[in-house]
Amino acid sequence: MRLIISMGETVLEESTEVSSEVTSEEQEKENAKKLRMDLYDWMQCFVTALICGILIFVFAGRTIGVDGRSMEKTLKDRDRVVMRSLFYTPKNGDIIVFQSTSTHRFKNVPLVKRVIATQGQTVDIDFGTSEVFVDGVKIDEPYVNSLTVNKDNFQGPVTVKEGHVFVMGDNRASSTDSRHNDVGQVDTRYILGRVLFILIPGESNGEPRDWSRFGVVG
């Protein structure tokens, strides 16, 4: 250790050491403060995202699983979809989730079908050509997976009652819908919501999930 004779130099060197220690403590405090601010910002983002998610879930939509093949190829068995119910009014072409009140067969079981016609409209089906008509006009149905050849209990033409909709599955050969007395015309009060998009594609029969199907449905 070097002996410093000059008191002035000694005082100056000690002052420098003290100053260095103070600067180091201030830096540590500043770093700790910055870390706390960063954590606070992350917490704010997390809480905001959580609240937004809850609000969207409660007021805008909710998820539900698809059970069965009646809506193939649009929706497949075990798909997980998001539907919206708030302020929803059914329209032609919408895919809806509802509870049937026509029979005990489907009591309290949510069903997924497509709206073909709404109240006041007239539905007729040519089972020979598989063509569906609404108010005398053939509707374009690119979504249909199988031909509309099963008549079930349908006796057309049929006018949709007030406060009801006429629904059919896209997979017509494997769908029990408004053609059948077990479902009939659907009371709009029992519509749970409109399907918006596929959240998680289904995985069944040993097939892997097809994530290319993720997204909006039409």
**Full domain range(s) for residue 36:** 1-60
Task: Indicate whether 169 and 189 sit together in one domain.
Answer: yes
Last residue of a domain, one of 26, 60, 94: 60
Mean pLDDT value across residues 166-175: 95
Task: Indicate whether 180 and 191 sit together in one domain.
Answer: yes
Residue-level pLDDT at 50: 63
Task: Indicate whether 68 and 51 sit together in one domain.
Answer: no
Task: Indicate whether 49 and 70 sit together in one domain.
Answer: no
Last residue of a domain, one of 16, 45, 60: 60
User: HSE of 145 in the Cβ direction (CA atoms, 13 Å)?
Assistant: 17
1: pLDDT strictly greater than 70: no
Mean pLDDT value across residues 70-89: 91
Residue-level pLDDT at 160: 98
Q: Mean pLDDT across the chain, nearest whole number?
A: 84
Mean pLDDT value across residues 48-59: 58
One-letter identity of residue 159? T
Task: Indicate whether 29 and 85 sit together in one domain.
Answer: no
Task: Indicate whether 203 and 101 sit together in one domain.
Answer: yes
CA dist 125 and 132 (Å) reads 5
Last residue of a domain, one of 60, 85, 101: 60
Q: Where are the beta strands (DSSP E) in 7-50?
A: none
Q: How many domains in the chain?
A: 2
